[in-house]
């Protein structure tokens, strides 16, 4: 080594504020233990230790409950308060209000194992980061012995194996329970030629966009072209192949808009009469879907009037693409968008006779509704809507394929490539082969049938995801999504069969169509797990950022809890206090206790940005 060589500085330690953790999962574990108040609950989570908790007061509380359980004492609220007080921890964990809050926000202990796995997994990740930092520091130290390096490498290797192979630990985070072996496996030799051509072209134009995004865009295009003219008759009702898809990924990196534009260009060229307006109120949209002539129609140019007449023949069958779907959701509660969410649910469900009456428009009747929606958003913009329990409970999010990338993309330059003519030609063939329509008669739908054995395959998949996999450790928000997966598979299989349609009077779902549809929807299922984990973390980070901004506005004296409660009325006091606790733990916020003045009074606690 040259005498003039200066080794680089070791990498800095990752600050606590960036360490993996989930405050929501920690609180859910504690709430589950308090609700159950059963010492035997710990037999379900033998892997969890108090050291796995990132928030210190949560660790104290968990250890106290565990100690009571090991003594055979149920941790009811009174017993737990007495034990915490004896240990001098009652005030430190937040007192009686804190225990009551944990009980109230966790109505059942049904998902205890799921929450415990999240806490345990994040603890392993933090440990791996610490170990890797230690190994890095050793590697930069030329005095360290080979034996010490090998020992540290062995420690990390053993923890990595534990992290990746520890049974169910981690599976509920970004992957999901596997399907039974009796569900057909996808054969890559039997793929849709048109869909493969679309994905290949989309990838060349936007190579940093995930494969799953391009694939879903191709499926969306075909579903729009079908325009409610195909259906699968099932015992529970007819299934139409319209789709609701949303892409969630950080801005810029994944080139979402570029990928959306690929689908938009083709749709505008091949089937502009099937596209809805980009910006519309629910009242105006339903009026369009009902086939009502727009106001000031006579002012439109002759080509635009002819285009509208063509659109009117398929007035209730539409495709919609949105750059930022979170803006639509954010405005859903305002007067001009009242009823938007409910309208979207009815349109997705292909209501045969959707009626709505308003003072301004009177009675509006939409016949044979059919809407396919393709939208995009960022984690920060969409997280509050993904954490809205009402949207899950009412079935809004379960109707969506919610797609998010598995990994960060590799850098790739887009190519200058001509669009294959077969993309527009293939879509046009499907569009024109299906039955036509003339206003006011809605388009008739052909019956898609199953090849031999396919219905039995679907029945096995249906049981697997809507019964067998609905276990206690599955996030309750995903129950609706799991229950709708069998229908999603039918929709995708119908689209694949339509793209391969040859000489039959109507498309037939072959076994390879079904297996391919299952493979696609299983990717969607795994993505839904990733999305919930991501949204929980993003929502908490957003709250911390809001608190920091509020504290900045109260400089230099600092803000009280009352100040923060008033400024953020949309968040609960517990959420704000937990975020403050985390900010204090990471040394971003400091607590100032102000003594009473000369005239007496109470002590005042203020929170200030740390310097």
Query: For the chain, how far is it from start to end, CA to CA, in angstroms?
Result: 42
- What confidence category does residue 115 fall into, taking pLDDT thresholds of 50, 70 and 90? confident
Mean pLDDT of 407-429: 92
Model pTM score:
0.66
Better pLDDT: 503 or 44: 503
SS3 state at 109: coil
pLDDT recorded at residue 3: 42
Can you give 481-530 as a three-state secondary structure string? HHHHHHHHHHHHHHHHHHHCCCCCCCCEECHHHHHHHHHHHHHHHHHHHH
pLDDT recorded at residue 187: 63
pLDDT recorded at residue 158: 47
530 pLDDT higher than 90: no
Better pLDDT: 276 or 535: 276
What percentage of the chain reaches a pLDDT higher than 90? 39
pLDDT recorded at residue 244: 98
Cα–Cα distance measured from residue 584 to residue 126, given in angstroms and rounded to the nearest whole number: 19
- Which residues, other chains included, contact 24 with Cβ-Cβ below 8 Å and sequence gap of 6+? 536, 540
188 pLDDT higher than 80: no
pLDDT recorded at residue 482: 96
The DSSP string of 143-200 is TS-HHHHHHHHHHHHHHHHHHHHSTTTTHHHHS-PPPPTTSPPP-TTS--HHHHHHHH
495 pLDDT higher than 90: yes
Mean pLDDT of 599-603: 66
pLDDT recorded at residue 585: 63
- Out of 111-115, 174-178, 458-462, 517-521, least confident range: 174-178
Q: Look-up: residue for tokens 């749709």?
A: 267
Better pLDDT: 17 or 184: 184
Highest mean predicted confidence (pLDDT) among 66-75, 226-235, 323-332, 440-449: 226-235
Taken in order 496, 500, 501, 506, the sign of the CA dihedral is negative
Instruction: Tell me whether strands 230-234 and 446-447 are parallel, antiparallel or unpaired.
Output: parallel
Q: What are phi and psi of 400, to 5 degrees?
A: -95, 150
> 109: which 2 tokens?
């202990």
172 pLDDT higher than 60: no
Cα–Cα distance measured from residue 322 to residue 90, given in angstroms and rounded to the nearest whole number: 50
pLDDT recorded at residue 336: 45
Cis, peptide link before residue 562, omega less than 30° from 0: no
5 pLDDT higher than 60: no
96 pLDDT higher than 90: no
pLDDT recorded at residue 500: 95
Mean pLDDT of 567-572: 83
Mean pLDDT of 287-301: 87
pLDDT recorded at residue 472: 76
Residue 387: HSE in the Cβ half-sphere, 13 Å Cα cutoff:
19
State the chain's mean pLDDT as an integer. Answer: 83
pLDDT recorded at residue 541: 63
Q: ∠ CA(497), CA(498), CA(503), 5° rounding? A: 90
173 pLDDT higher than 60: no
Pure H helices in 271-365: 282-289, 302-312, 325-330, 340-348
- What confidence category does residue 307 fall into, taking pLDDT thresholds of 50, 70 and 90? confident
Highest mean predicted confidence (pLDDT) among 155-169, 202-216, 592-606: 202-216
pLDDT recorded at residue 164: 39
Structure confidence by residue, pLDDT tens digits, 353-402: 988 887 777 888 999 999 999 999 988 788 778 878 888 989 999 999 99
250 pLDDT higher than 70: yes
Answer for the pair 533, 174: CB distance below 8 angstroms, yes or no. yes
């Amino acid at each position: 080594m040259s005498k003039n060589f200066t080794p680089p500085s070791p990498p800095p330690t990752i600050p606590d504020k960036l360490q993996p953790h989930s405050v929501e999962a920690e609180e859910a574990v504690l709430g589950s233990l308090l609700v159950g108040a059963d010492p035997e609950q710990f037999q379900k989570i033998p892997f969890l230790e108090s050291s796995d908790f990132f928030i210190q007061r949560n660790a104290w509380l968990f250890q106290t409950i565990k100690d009571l359980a090991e003594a055979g004492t149920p941790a009811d609220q009174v017993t737990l308060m007495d034990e915490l007080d004896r240990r001098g921890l009652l005030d430190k964990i937040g007192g009686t209000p804190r225990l009551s809050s944990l009980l109230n926000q966790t109505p059942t202990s049904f998902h205890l194992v799921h929450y415990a796995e999240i806490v345990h997994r994040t603890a392993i990740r933090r440990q791996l980061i610490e170990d890797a930092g230690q190994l890095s520091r050793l590697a930069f130290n030329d005095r360290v012995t080979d034996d010490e390096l090998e020992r540290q490498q062995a420690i990390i290797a053993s923890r990595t194996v534990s992290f990746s192979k520890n049974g169910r630990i981690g599976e509920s985070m970004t992957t999901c329970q596997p399907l039974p072996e009796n569900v057909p496996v996808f054969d890559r030799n039997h793929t849709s030629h048109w869909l493969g051509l679309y994905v290949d072209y989309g990838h060349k134009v936007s190579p940093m966009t995930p494969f799953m995004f391009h694939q879903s865009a191709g499926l969306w295009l075909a579903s729009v072209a079908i325009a409610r003219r195909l259906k699968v008759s099932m015992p529970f009702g007819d299934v139409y192949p319209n789709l609701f898809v949303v892409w969630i990924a950080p801005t810029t990196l994944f080139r979402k808009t570029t990928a959306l534009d690929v689908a938009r260009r083709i749709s505008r060229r091949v089937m502009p009469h099937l596209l809805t307006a980009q910006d519309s109120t629910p009242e105006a949209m339903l009026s369009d879907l009902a086939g009502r002539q727009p106001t000031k129609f006579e002012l439109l140019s002759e080509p635009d009037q002819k285009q509208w007449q063509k659109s009117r023949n398929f007035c209730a069958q539409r495709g919609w693409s949105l750059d930022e779907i979170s803006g639509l959701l954010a405005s859903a509660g305002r007067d001009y968008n009242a009823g938007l969410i409910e309208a979207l649910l009815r349109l997705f469900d292909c209501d045969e006779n959707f009626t709505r009456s308003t003072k301004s428009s009177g009675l509006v009747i939409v016949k044979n509704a059919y809407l396919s929606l393709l939208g995009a958003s960022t984690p920060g913009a969409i997280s509050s809507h993904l954490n809205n329990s009402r949207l899950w409970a009412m079935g809004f999010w379960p109707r969506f394929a919610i797609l998010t990338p598995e990994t960060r993309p590799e850098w790739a330059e887009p190519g200058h490539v001509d669009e294959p003519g077969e993309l527009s030609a293939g879509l046009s063939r499907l569009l024109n082969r299906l039955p036509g329509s003339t206003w006011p008669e809605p388009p008739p739908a052909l019956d898609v049938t199953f090849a031999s054995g396919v219905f039995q395959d679907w029945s096995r998949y249906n049981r697997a995801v809507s019964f067998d996999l609905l276990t206690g450790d599955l996030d309750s928000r995903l129950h609706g999504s799991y229950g709708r997966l069998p229908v999603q598979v039918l929709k995708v299989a119908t689209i694949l069969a339509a793209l391969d349609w040859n000489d039959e009077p109507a498309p037939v779902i072959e076994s390879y169509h079904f297996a391919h549809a299952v493979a696609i929807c299983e990717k969607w299922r795994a993505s839904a797990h990733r999305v919930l984990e991501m949204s929980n973390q993003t929502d908490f980070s957003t709250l911390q950022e809001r608190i920091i901004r509020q504290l900045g506005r109260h400089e230099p004296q600092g803000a009280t809890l009352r100040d923060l409660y008033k400024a953020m009325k949309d968040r609960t006091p517990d959420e704000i206090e937990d975020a403050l606790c985390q900010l204090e733990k990471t040394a971003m916020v400091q607590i100032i206790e102000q003594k009473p003045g000369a005239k007496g009074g109470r002590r005042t606690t203020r929170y200030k940005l740390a310097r």
